[in-house]
Amino acid sequence: DSGVTQTPKHLITATGQRVTLRCSPRSGDLSVYWYQQSLDQGLQFLIQYYNGEERAKGNILERFSAQQFPDLHSELNLSSLELGDSALYFCASSVMDRGNTEAFFGQGTRLTVV
Amino acid sequence: GENVEQHPSTLSVQEGDSAVIKCTYSDSASNYFPWYKQELGKRPQLIIDIRSNVGEKKDQRIAVTLNKTAKHFSLHITETQPEDSAVYFCAARRSGGSYIPTFGRGTSLIVHP
């Protein structure tokens, strides 16, 4: 167990809908990263938060948004869902937003858009 | 930004053989290089990492080498076992400023008994 908790584990929804994925980082970790992993694809970086503030953005669609709350948990909001959004979404956390610190991954949320 | 290339995409070996996965990176400021193992349907887990102040690091059957001049690093697995079968990701990141770990596309390692 990495200490990073993601909910839900599985999510099935229809096109056009909106969903929220939740991530609780390891205790003491201030930085949260969101990644998308599609079938046979690598880990595509979406967005990073550090202590409540957005720190870096990757290839995140405008239909997607995220935030990190004062208690450091993070939510990834996916709207106007398309079939191509079906993927495994990982959250990772680390102590800092820089330096040689390990990123710990949650178990992921498998999103299926039908 | 950083770009990490990983090869091969698929690697098939017989049990007991060695496996080598290679990665190159583009950002010369990168100084931390972790390797993650992802078993089917599970989360990526760190298996070994190397920092830029060393050229090689070993942990039992796995080792990582780093050539900063050439900007490439490699994962070596000796005496492979079926449970080594997984997807392996390399990553590169740098300290200072706003940065994120950039991952390679992954190598699917298959170890045949």
What's the confidence (pLDDT) of residue A59? 82
A46 contacts A60 by C-beta, under 8 angstroms: yes
Distance from CA of A78 to the nearest CA of B (A): 21
Q: What whole-number distance in Å separates Cα of residue B9 and Cα of residue B7?
A: 5
Residue A97 has pLDDT above 90, yes or no: no
Residue with tokens 């609780």: A24
Q: Which residue has the higher pLDDT, B83 or B31?
A: B83
Of A41, A48, A98, the CB nearest to B97: A98
Q: For residue A49, which residues of chain B lie inside 8 Å, CB to CB?
A: none
For chain A, say whether B57 makes contact (Cβ under 8 Å).
no
DSSP secondary structure string, chain B? ---EEEE-SEEEEETT--EEEEEEES-TT--EEEEEEE-TTS--EEEEEEETT-SEEEETTEEEEEETTTTEEEEEE-S--GGG-EEEEEEEB-SSSS--PEE---EEEEEE-
Interface test with B, best of A32, A98, A102 (most B CBs within 10 A): A98
Paired tokens of B69: 């001049």
Q: What share of chain A in percent tops pLDDT 90? A: 74
Q: For residue B36, which residues of chain A lie inside 8 Å, CB to CB?
A: 105
Residue with tokens 């583009």: B26
Q: Which residues contact B84 (CB under 8 A, 6 or more apart)?
A: B19, B77, B109, B111
- pLDDT tens, residue by residue, A18-61: 999 999 999 989 999 999 998 767 888 899 999 999 988 888 99
Chain A residue with CA closest to B89: the answer is A42
* Contact criterion met (CB < 8 Å) for B101 and A42: no
Distance from CA of A14 to the nearest CA of B (A): 23
- pLDDT tens, residue by residue, B13-56: 999 999 999 999 998 888 889 999 999 888 999 999 998 888 99
Q: Which residues contact B58 (CB under 8 A, 6 or more apart)?
A: none
Distance from CA of A55 to the nearest CA of B (A): 6
Residue A70 has pLDDT above 70, yes or no: yes
Task: Tell me whether residue B67 is exposed, middle or buried, using C-beta atoms within 10 angstroms of its C-beta: 0 to 12, 13 to 18, 19 or more.
Answer: exposed
Strand partners, B19: B77
Distance from CA of B103 to the nearest CA of A (A): 6
Residue A93 has pLDDT above 70, yes or no: yes
